[in-house]
Amino acid sequence: MTALFARHALLPDGWRRDVLLQWGGDGRFTAVTPDAPAMDGSESAGIETADYVLPGMINLHSHSFQRALSGLTEIAGEDRAKSADSFWTWRDLMYRFALGIAPEQMEAIAAQLFAECLRHGYTSICEFNYVHRAPDGALYPDVAETARRVIAAARHAGIGITMLPVLYAHAGFGGAPLRDEQRRFRAGPADVLAIVAALEPLRGPMVEVGVAPHSLRAASVAQIRDLLAGLSPERPVHIHIAEQGGEVQQCIDHSGRRPVQFLYDNLPVDERWCLVHATHVADDEVAAIAASGAVAGLCPTTEANLGDGLFPLAPFLERGGRFGIGSDSHVSTSPVEELRWLEYGQRLAGQRRNVAVTTDERRVGDHLWRAALAGGAQAAGRRVGALAPGYAADLLVLDEAHPNVSAPPELLNGFVFSGNDNLVKDVLAGGQWVVRGRQHVAQAAIAGRFKETLANLRELRP
């Protein structure tokens, strides 16, 4: 089957009726034709039909191995008075886990994560991969060992991937040496560029390779410059920028400036950049990100889970800022929940309603889905996020029989804001049907391997 007839489909210019979508063997749309002749008897003509079709969402921030920790770090420490639980106590648990995990286990966990992401409507993912080395801190014979494992998992599950090997050199601002428990993460600019070069043959319609300086804590300006100098100018660049108040203060102590100010003063930040967790930003930083065309990478469920804080979405949108969503630590694998929390956080903080809108788009669900598609596609550096010729043939078919699914223009508001059932019925990614009737096509094998891996990792988990 290389065509689908959609009675309603969300195209770049909005909802259209009677859309014939066709794709080729390379996994890209070859033609997208609205107002196509009615497809009566189309099943027999070999063309499947669907009522409601959307472009698949892009998940712009993932540490796939952390999926094995979700649900396991929600226990308070014993001495509440002495040390309240925080991002930093969570990070110690995560480090402990990361130290013991083997490459084949990373692959099994990633495959389960990617299958879940597909079932909920993500058809692309950006993997911020920083576990590079063996548990003893030595390089693997193949420097790209762990990145290759995660890409193999993406292929197995059928999700498009942007692999971002991470530059990770310091434990804090000013070049502080890495702690012993960070030994698996160590990678300078030359190491990261060696991984990028090793992955070059894997690039294609479903795989792109960029880079990610971990943060301004873990990578110096000079190292980031060296990294960019060795990279093709069109490749995506992601960075954790201002997730925690403590890290903002450390940046001020080190440089006299806040992280976003410091970044923009020292590096040529433009549309290839994705600033992940731009949580703690002052007014001038909001303006700088918006003006540069960089994407703000927002991960509302993880940011809530870790007690990070709230990104100032309204002033950012007023300035035309671009954003996308990511599931980061994977406490949720649903773009609906990510977008809902993004909007609800703003409503709670501002004691107002309907924040994520523009003068042209006053439906919140519509603006959230479409803006996150555009921002996510830009951050992924792949031709995704649009039902249009030349783009990856990635689409979602919603369950037309479900009471929460109604015809456009109500569809996206109902999809994002109504109930908790997963309304995604079928998913096409890269021209392949990877979810049918809510089941991932390789679900049994992937889930079996994942469960076995979790059992083997039991003593490493908190």
Closer to Zn ion by Cβ: residue 115 or 306? 306
**CA within 13 Å, CB half, 269:** 28
List Cβ<8 Å contacts ≥24 apart for 70-75: 70/329, 70/330, 70/331, 71/331, 72/461, 72/462, 73/462, 75/462
How many chain residues are in contact with Zn ion, going by CB under 5 A?
Answer: 1
In the complex, which residue's CB is closest to Zn ion? 328
CB of 243 to Zn ion, least distance (A): 8
Neighbours of 54 (CB within 10 A): 24
Closer to Zn ion by Cβ: residue 305 or 418? 305
Instruction: Answer for the pair 170, 218: CB distance below 8 angstroms, yes or no.
Output: yes
CB of 138 to Zn ion, least distance (A): 25
126-165 footprint of Zn ion as x/- string (CB under 5 A): ----------------------------------------
CB of 423 to Zn ion, least distance (A): 28
Closer to Zn ion by Cβ: residue 9 or 94? 94
234-263 footprint of Zn ion as x/- string (CB under 5 A): ------------------------------
CB of 59 to Zn ion, least distance (A): 12
According to DSSP, the β-strands at 395-398 and 207-209 are unpaired
Question: What is the footprint of Zn ion within residues 282-341 (CB under 5 A)?
Answer: 328
Record the tokens describing residue 94, joined without a space: 């995560």
Closer to Zn ion by Cβ: residue 191 or 328? 328
Peptide bond into 12 cis (omega under 30): no
Question: What is the distance between the alpha carbons of residues 218 and 223, in angstroms, rounded to a whole number?
Answer: 10
Q: Give me the residues paired with residue 122 across strands.
A: 57
Q: Report the catalytic residues.
A: 277, 328
Question: What is the distance between the alpha carbons of residues 23 and 1, in angstroms, rounded to a whole number?
Answer: 9
Closer to Zn ion by Cβ: residue 8 or 132? 132
Question: What is the distance between the alpha carbons of residues 330 and 312, in angstroms, rounded to a whole number?
Answer: 22
CB of 312 to Zn ion, least distance (A): 20
- The DSSP 8-state label assigned to residue 206 in this structure reads T
Q: For binding to Zn ion (CB under 5 A), which residues are involved?
A: 328
